[in-house]
Chains A and B, each alone.
Chain A
């Protein structure tokens, strides 16, 4: 009994301390947790969409609308001071003039509206066309991107496999034509432009042959377009495609 009383408080305190320590550890473990969800784009794609037709309706409407207010302003000072003292004949005349003016005004507004509609239709169709073209170019762009990512993989692989000969010098460059079969295996390697140094050319060729098999895209279209046959440019300061 004595022992229980003696140890219960210390036990409680010790457990509490460890729970607190565990909690502190789990809550303060990741200091930069807020930033971690940010996904960096691999490449930023920016294309200019030109909308020529849209510029016209944007500029045109204001004159039409602006034309109306001055008339209203003219109308008001005329109507207010005169209507009170003048007799009925004058009022009738005024009424007629006003009706005429209003009719003309309405006609003008109607014309403006039709014109606006036509312009809108025109703008819409050209916008559609622009979007269509844009998505077409996007399609091509994504293919290009896919090819680019595979290209980077090949580049890395070849770079790892390339052991430069001691005679390699800055400024040397050898261009190799590489042919692949759809599984990614190397079918042929030809030296298109020699560096002038046989050892260097051989090392470049060896680098490609040692890789044996490259990762290539599954889509046949992309493969045929980019990887059936392509060039590697070897330069000692860095390996460039």
Chain B
């Protein structure tokens, strides 16, 4: 065996099951990278969005005007949708005659909670997939490896003379499966941890903002004047 075996030769010589495992892992790796990139762009976008929104919000702008600007837009995402949902509920409820201030505030809080939860689901899309790939693909790879090694030892049993050269290629090709499992798992785990931490930070900010908005609206509801 003086010639070096290329990795592609190893992969093509592997048994069918090992090849299926390798294919699955390859797909898992590609898909998880797609999700990683997608989440990365999405979360970066969300962070910059909340930064600019808060800057705007606390710049002393008239909230009614601000609401009017945002309401016309379609596809509201992130913090803007929380704000629009809360404020719309507030105006609707306070326009109704005989609305109790406490009831108005309860309605507003409920709507905003719903909006925040919806945002949370939106932020967390794909993260479970990353977690699954991260935790299972090493096992899938290991399964391929164990299977490959099993086969190469079984073929060894038929030989009269056991040499390292008769098992080594089989073991080597089986180990490629583990390598691929790890190759898929490591970025997925890192991505999952990083993104879930970032989602948590964003959620904290959303909740803080909705509390702040509640305070402002509460003050407005109890001052008996609809002006904010």
List CB contacts (< 8 Å) of A16-30 with chain B: 17-18, 21, 25-26, 29-30
13 contacts between A and B (CB under 8 A): A9-B37, A9-B41, A10-B34, A13-B37, A14-B33, A14-B34, A17-B33, A18-B29, A18-B30, A18-B33, A30-B4, A36-B2, A36-B3
B58 CB contacts on chain A under 8 angstroms: none
Instruction: Give the distance in Å from the alpha carbon of A17 to the alpha carbon of B36 in the complex.
Output: 12
Instruction: Give the distance in Å from the alpha carbon of A69 to the alpha carbon of B8 in the complex.
Output: 72
A11 CB contacts on chain B under 8 angstroms: 34
Q: Do the beta carbons of A10 and B29 come within 8 Å of each other?
A: no
B114 within 8 Å of A (CB atoms): no
B31 CB contacts on chain A under 8 angstroms: 14
Q: Do the beta carbons of B7 and A25 come within 8 Å of each other?
A: yes
Instruction: Give the distance in Å from the alpha carbon of A10 to the alpha carbon of B37 in the complex.
Output: 5
Instruction: Give the distance in Å from the alpha carbon of A2 to the alpha carbon of B38 in the complex.
Output: 13
Q: Do the beta carbons of B37 and A14 come within 8 Å of each other?
A: yes
User: What total of chain B residues lie within 8 Å of the partner, measured CB to CB?
Assistant: 20
**What is A's interface to B at a CB cutoff of 8 Å?**
2, 6-7, 9-11, 13-15, 17-18, 21, 25-26, 29-30, 33, 36
Q: Do the beta carbons of B4 and A10 come within 8 Å of each other?
A: no
Q: 9 more A-B contacts (CB under 8 A) besides A9-B37, A30-B4?
A: A6-B38, A9-B41, A10-B38, A13-B34, A14-B30, A14-B37, A18-B30, A26-B7, A36-B3
Q: How far is the CB of A104 from chain B (nearest CB, A)?
A: 69
Instruction: Give the distance in Å from the alpha carbon of A18 to the alpha carbon of B41 in the complex.
Output: 19
Instruction: Give the distance in Å from the alpha carbon of A10 to the alpha carbon of B42 in the complex.
Output: 11
With CB as the reference atom, state the residue of chain A lying closest to B75: A2
Q: How far is the CB of B91 from chain A (nearest CB, A)?
A: 29
A9 CB contacts on chain B under 8 angstroms: 37, 41
A10 CB contacts on chain B under 8 angstroms: 33-38, 41
B6 within 8 Å of A (CB atoms): yes
With CB as the reference atom, state the residue of chain A lying closest to B10: A29
With CB as the reference atom, state the residue of chain B lying closest to A32: B4
Q: How far is the CB of A28 from chain B (nearest CB, A)?
A: 10
Q: Do the beta carbons of B4 and A33 come within 8 Å of each other?
A: yes
- Among A2, A15, A26, the residue within 8 A (CB) of B30 is A15
- Among B8, B29, B42, B75, the residue within 8 A (CB) of A26 is B8
List CB contacts (< 8 Å) of B39-76 with chain A: 41-42, 75
A18 CB contacts on chain B under 8 angstroms: 26, 29-30, 33
Q: How far is the CB of B186 from chain A (nearest CB, A)?
A: 12
Instruction: Give the distance in Å from the alpha carbon of A81 to the alpha carbon of B14 in the complex.
Output: 95
A26 CB contacts on chain B under 8 angstroms: 6-8
Q: How far is the CB of B184 from chain A (nearest CB, A)?
A: 10
List CB contacts (< 8 Å) of B135-153 with chain A: none
With CB as the reference atom, state the residue of chain B lying closest to A10: B37
Q: Do the beta carbons of A7 and B34 come within 8 Å of each other?
A: yes
Q: Do the beta carbons of A7 and B4 come within 8 Å of each other?
A: no
B36 CB contacts on chain A under 8 angstroms: 10, 14
Instruction: Give the distance in Å from the alpha carbon of A18 to the alpha carbon of B29 in the complex.
Output: 8
A21 CB contacts on chain B under 8 angstroms: 183
B7 CB contacts on chain A under 8 angstroms: 25-26, 29
- Among B8, B26, B38, the residue within 8 A (CB) of A7 is B38
Interface code B1-28, partner A: CB below 8 Å = 1, 0 otherwise?
0111011100000000000000000100
Q: How far is the CB of B5 from chain A (nearest CB, A)?
A: 9
Instruction: Give the distance in Å from the alpha carbon of A30 to the alpha carbon of B33 in the complex.
Output: 27
Instruction: Give the distance in Å from the alpha carbon of A26 to the alpha carbon of B11 in the complex.
Output: 12
Between B34, B41, B183, the greatest number of chain A beta carbons within 10 A of the residue's beta carbon is seen for: B34
With CB as the reference atom, state the residue of chain B lying closest to A13: B37
B30 CB contacts on chain A under 8 angstroms: 14-15, 18
Instruction: Give the distance in Å from the alpha carbon of A177 to the alpha carbon of B8 in the complex.
Output: 53
With CB as the reference atom, state the residue of chain B lying closest to A2: B75
With CB as the reference atom, state the residue of chain B lying closest to A38: B2
Instruction: Give the distance in Å from the alpha carbon of A11 to the alpha carbon of B32 in the complex.
Output: 10
